[in-house]
Amino acid sequence: MKTVFILGAGFSKPAKAPIQSEIIQEILKLRSGNFYDKDVIIKSYLDDFEKFLSDELFIHNEKFGDVALEDVFTPIDRCIIDGISFRSLDGKNLVELREKIYSLIIIAIKEKLNSATEHKAYVNVFAKYLVAQMKPRMINKDHDPVAVISTNWDILLDNSIKRAIEQDDHNGVVDYCCYISSLEDDDTIKPGLWALGKGKYNVKLLKLHGSLNWLHCPKCQRLFVAFYEKIAEYGIYRDRKCKYCPINFKESKTVSDALRSNLIMPTFLKDLNNFQIKLIWQNASVELSEASKVVFIGYSLPQADYELRQLLSRMIPHEAVIEIVMREEIDEKTEKSNADTLMRYKTFFGKREVKSVPVGVENYVSAL
Ligand SMILES: [Zn+2]
């Protein structure tokens, strides 16, 4: 028996994480936030981002907040992959600009979540539940009852699982289901397979669209990870380099050792040449094929996520039970939007049993 949880933006919403359509507005708000005065780097990134919106996308200043994140990234990603220029920006400019926008996203999400610490309790409850479920694996390696697949970039759950494991004497690891290295020399950041070999347990968290706390070396394809605040302190916008490549490739000390972030638009997954993300998708497909129950939390099954939809369609067994955790139905509006979402799921999953759980994320988690 295995339960696979699939988390969408609605999982992080009670903790005040911005949904994707709000991220550009949150970035623009950094102008008036704490960062702006202190941080000349962030200020210059903001200037460059707004210049791009105005000069290249040709958007009116007062409409910047209405631009869809996909419309910023998809043309940039397309030009980088195809080796062509985007208006006045060549490939090198585009790679740099993309990294700056990623940095702004990381800071904007982090700032938003910092301002709402009191709303995160349910995330800790869920993390403790996952740890308790996986802990018996220390004795029995075949014990493998839960996995989490997330489409979110934020690291609310990642940090909560890490903390729950720390409170359990570091007996387990956060398992991103790919091969990771620690950004700093932190012994508690290890791959899941390493943990199992040491008689520890793993808590699987498969982040299909990448994560705020990941940096990727374009040369050796290693994925570097940090938890808590460290990603902002040491992270990408401080121009981090791979710690292995400058030693292994002494002859080619070039800019290509600079680590890159790993935030991926759902619309761009099929063009992906990132080995670690591919591995995560492969492992997610294995988890889904073993599921007896799949629980969707705060995920609306949008058409734009066609890569995830094809994965679900291919891998979930016919006899698996599908549960949809949706918003609490407090008025006609939430009832109607839940009914629309449920209909989308029922059409998609056809003859399978689809159960609606309209209690809200927080109530659902506390009842686990
Ligand atoms: Zn490297």
Q: Kindly give the distance from the C-alpha atom of residue 242 to the centroid of ligand 1, in angstroms, as a whole number.
A: 5
Q: Please, is 214 exposed, middle or buried when counting C-beta atoms within 10 Å of its C-beta (0-12, 13-18, 19+)?
A: buried
Contact yes or no for 54/43 (Cβ under 8 A) = no
Helix then strand then coil, % of the chain, to nearest 5? 55, 15, 30
Give which of 288, 280, 276 is closest to 146, Cα–Cα: 288
Q: In this model, does residue 56 exceed pLDDT 60?
A: yes
Closest Cα to residue 238, out of 99, 86, 80?
A: 99
**238 Cα: distance to centroid of ligand 1 (angstroms):** 17
> Which stretch of DSSP H or E encloses residue 357?
strand 354-357
Name which of 62-71, 178-187, 295-304, 321-330 the model is least confident about.
178-187
**Centre of ligand 1 from the C-alpha of residue 4, in Å:** 32
Calculate how far, in angstroms, residue 228's C-alpha sits from the geometric centre of ligand 1: 23
Q: Report the run of H or E that residue 7 belongs to, with start and end.
A: strand 3-7
CA of 198 to the centre of ligand 1 (A): 26
Distance, CA of 7 to CA of 296 (rounded, Å): 6
User: How far away, in angstroms, is 187 Cα from ligand 1 center?
Assistant: 19
Distance CA 293, CA 11 (A): 18
315, 149 Cβ separation under 8 angstroms: no
Question: Ligand 1 centroid to 248 CA: how many Å?
Answer: 9
How many angstroms separate the alpha carbon of residue 321 from the centre of ligand 1?
Answer: 42
pLDDT score, position 259: 84
| Protein residues placing their CB within 5 Å of the ion ligand 1 | 217, 219-220, 242, 244-245
For 141-153, the DSSP string reads TT---EEEEE---
Expressed in angstroms and rounded, the spacing between residue 286 Cα and the centre of ligand 1 is 28
Of 362, 356, 349, 294, the C-alpha closest to 4 is 294
State mean pLDDT over 274-279: 90
CA of 257 to the centre of ligand 1 (A): 6
Q: How confident is the model at residue 234 (pLDDT cuts 50, 70, 90)?
A: low
**What's this model's pTM, rounded to 2 decimal places?**
0.94
Q: How far is the CA of 258 from the centre of ligand 1 (A)?
A: 8
Location of structure tokens 């210049």: 51
Distance 260 CA to ligand 1 centre (A): 11
Ligand 1 centre to CA of 254 (Å) is 12
Q: How far is the CA of 219 from the centre of ligand 1 (A)?
A: 5
| Per-residue model confidence (pLDDT) at position 9 | 93
**Residue 59 in this model has a pLDDT that exceeds 60:** yes
Give pLDDT, residue 43.
87
Give me ligand 1 centre to Cα 184, in Å: 14
Q: What is the pLDDT of residues 136-166, one digit of tens each?
A: 999 999 999 999 999 999 999 999 999 999 9
| pLDDT at residue 233 is higher than 70 | no
The pLDDT, as a whole number, for residue 201 is: 97
The per-residue pLDDT for range 189-222, each reduced to its tens digit, is: 999 999 999 999 999 999 999 998 998 888 888 9
Q: How far is the CA of 262 from the centre of ligand 1 (A)?
A: 14
Distance 152 CA to ligand 1 centre (A): 25
Whether residue 252 is predicted with pLDDT greater than 80 in this model: the reply is no
Tell me the CA–centroid distance for residue 252 and ligand 1, in Å: 12
**Window from 14-18, 259-263, 307-311 with minimum mean pLDDT:** 259-263
Sign of CA pseudo-dihedral 340, 346, 349, 352: positive
